[in-house]
A and B are shown apart, each in its own frame.
Chain A
Amino acid sequence: AKAETMLRWSDGQPNRGVNSETLQWMASELEKRSNGDLGVEFHWGGALFKSKSAVKGVGTRSADIATIIAAYTPKELVAYSVGDIPLPNSDVWVGMRAMYELATTHPALKKMFDDLNLVYLTNLSTSAIEILCKDKFINTLDDLKGVKMRAVGPYGRIFKDLGADVARLSQAKVYNALDSGIVECNQNYMYSIEVFKQNDVAKKLTKLDWGQHLAFGVVMNKETYEGLSDANRQVLQEVSSDFIDQFARRIQEANIKALERMTSGDSPLEVAEMDPNEKAKLEKMGFDTVPNWIERANDAGLPGQDIFDSYMALVAKYEKIRDEKGYPWNN
């Protein structure tokens, strides 16, 4: 039977990996819990429009739902890009919960999404940042000096400030670049290292477990949302919230399994951790970028300090919940 409301869902990524699997889980839950009222039609790989156009694409209802990336529309989503500040907040579940509550309760973010004709549904994360190198570990910050490294975003800018020679490449091209020596190191996430087979050509993993990129979101067109029945809106909100638990669990499991597979077998990956004192210095450099972000948010007419403080308070809140009760899927 054809669903009563078909939701056109655009995603810039091809349909493989944890992201698309969990998004498809969300689609099937929507259908199940709405008794078939809500159906989803996916358009993967940016066939409809590119990720760069996702904010506009959902705003104008070219698609009803899409994944947004703050780095592609940094001005439009400046309030949401608080999730990309390099902070030592690497727990996926805590980070996602904090972003979710911030986006759904803070007036500045609610107004931002409303002005863009969007309804915020839920968010995604890259999980913690690690460094994979061809033949060295990054034990100290000095080890980054002069290293040819592929890195992106605000984390990449800090590596650059520390003297790394940062090259910009898409993750798909890193395999060749590591192999031929165009880059010696790559900023990546555990499951993603295995997806792109980078462990074939680089054997030293520095388990940095620094922060994560959290300024990803799933948004819906406002008119589409308002056209839904009260019951279906309720379903949508429940599924969106449950998505976070699903995604956090799945990506953590994927990371653990990827590490297990990569460190066993014929040609295993070697793993080391950064010296704790050095890592503290790195984290301090991340905190030092906060005023820049606040300034950028203030320039956009937003209460930068307040958004940041609210976000940090929410991170603390969910860390406490995790420490007291554990992750929801373990209960």
Chain B
Amino acid sequence: MEQLDLPNERSQGHRGVDPAFLVWLENAGVVVSSITIVILAGVITTSVVGRTFFGSMIPDDLVISGELMVTLVALPWAYITAERGHIAVELFTNWVSDRARIKLDILAAVVGLAMIGPLTWATGIALWQAIDYGSYFDGEFFLPEWPGRSMFFLGFFMMLIRLFLILAEDIARLIYNGKTEKGRK
């Protein structure tokens, strides 16, 4: 599981077609996710300290933790995708030509779209239903479901757009035979 801390791997990744707003949004996704982690650690620590020393705790902390989890997990996806940072098995394809490599990149983007497209749609429907029903969580304040579901949908939606851009870029690279490589670092 834990494909952690891969600095070289990361720098091999390159950004392709880069609309400035999308780049900004993707980076904002990582920033918001980072802030969410701090809030999560804070909520749990406050809850334990409050319970141990003051006999009180944050109401609905379980629901809040769940909302923070979906947010922090979903928002960095587009950024990772833009950096081509998703883990893949490279051993069997190390020997292939540059052109074949581009074809494999196109395959990866297409397969990615086949996963992320339906998930974006499904989480979008779920968000719409949660708003339509006015769904809420059981607990002290009956907190609404839509905030977490929005963040989750947003994470998939941004990743979907980035996957389309990557696919377009790779097809262009294939057609122009590697002449659009200026995006590479």
Residue positions of A touching B, CB distance < 8 A: 56, 71-76, 146, 148, 153, 157, 165-168, 296, 300
Complex Cα distance, B140 from A165, in Å, reads 15
Q: Is the CB of B136 within 8 A of A74?
A: yes
Q: Is the CB of B140 within 8 A of A75?
A: no
What residues on B are CB-neighbors of A166 within 8 Å?
57
Find the A residue at minimum CB distance from B63: A168
Q: Is the CB of B51 within 8 A of A165?
A: yes
Q: Is the CB of B133 within 8 A of A153?
A: no
What per-residue 1/0 map shows which CB atoms of B128-140 lie under 8 Å from chain A?
A: 0100011111101
Q: Is the CB of B133 within 8 A of A76?
A: yes
Q: Is the CB of B62 within 8 A of A76?
A: no
With A74-B136, A300-B134 given, can you name 12 additional A-B contacts, CB distance below 8 Å? Answer: A56-B126, A72-B138, A74-B137, A74-B142, A75-B134, A76-B133, A153-B138, A165-B51, A166-B57, A167-B51, A168-B61, A296-B142
Q: Is the CB of B138 within 8 A of A157?
A: no
- Rounded to whole Å, the gap between the CB of A147 and the closest CB of chain B is 10
Complex Cα distance, B51 from A157, in Å, reads 16
Q: Is the CB of A165 within 8 A of B55?
A: yes
Complex Cα distance, B59 from A167, in Å, reads 11
- Rounded to whole Å, the gap between the CB of B18 and the closest CB of chain A is 37
Find the B residue at minimum CB distance from A182: B51
A-B contact pairs, 18 of them (CB 8 A): A56-B126, A56-B129, A71-B138, A72-B138, A74-B137, A75-B133, A75-B136, A76-B133, A76-B135, A146-B55, A148-B51, A157-B140, A165-B55, A165-B56, A165-B57, A168-B62, A296-B142, A300-B134
Most B CB within 10 A of own CB, among A73, A75, A76 = A75
List residues 106-152 of chain B with CB under 8 A from any CB of chain A.
126, 129, 133-138, 140, 142
Find the B residue at minimum CB distance from A145: B55
List residues 55-93 of chain B with CB under 8 A from any CB of chain A.
55-57, 61-62
Q: Is the CB of B51 within 8 A of A74?
A: no
What residues on B are CB-neighbors of A165 within 8 Å?
51, 55-57
Find the A residue at minimum CB distance from B47: A167
Task: Identify whether the interface residues of B are mostly helix, strand, loop, or mixed.
Answer: loop
Complex Cα distance, B61 from A207, in Å, reads 30
Complex Cα distance, B53 from A146, in Å, reads 11
Complex Cα distance, B173 from A238, in Å, reads 66
What residues on A are CB-neighbors of B133 within 8 Å?
75-76
Complex Cα distance, B135 from A72, in Å, reads 10
- Rounded to whole Å, the gap between the CB of A113 and the closest CB of chain B is 14
What residues on A are CB-neighbors of B142 within 8 Å?
74, 296
Complex Cα distance, B140 from A71, in Å, reads 12
Q: Is the CB of A75 within 8 A of B135?
A: yes
Find the A residue at minimum CB distance from B62: A168
What residues on B are CB-neighbors of A153 within 8 Å?
138
Find the B residue at minimum CB distance from A160: B140
What residues on A are CB-neighbors of B136 within 8 Å?
74-75
Complex Cα distance, B72 from A122, in Å, reads 39
Q: Is the CB of A74 within 8 A of B55?
A: no
What residues on A are CB-neighbors of B137 within 8 Å?
74
Question: Could you say which of A73, A148, A157, A296 contacts B135, with CB atoms under 8 Å apart?
Answer: A73
- Rounded to whole Å, the gap between the CB of A132 and the closest CB of chain B is 20
Of all A-B residue pairs in the complex, the 9 with the closest CB atoms, nearest first, are: A74-B138, A71-B138, A75-B135, A165-B55, A75-B136, A168-B62, A75-B133, A75-B134, A146-B55
What residues on A are CB-neighbors of B57 within 8 Å?
165-166
Complex Cα distance, B138 from A73, in Å, reads 8
Complex Cα distance, B142 from A74, in Å, reads 9
- Rounded to whole Å, the gap between the CB of A208 and the closest CB of chain B is 22
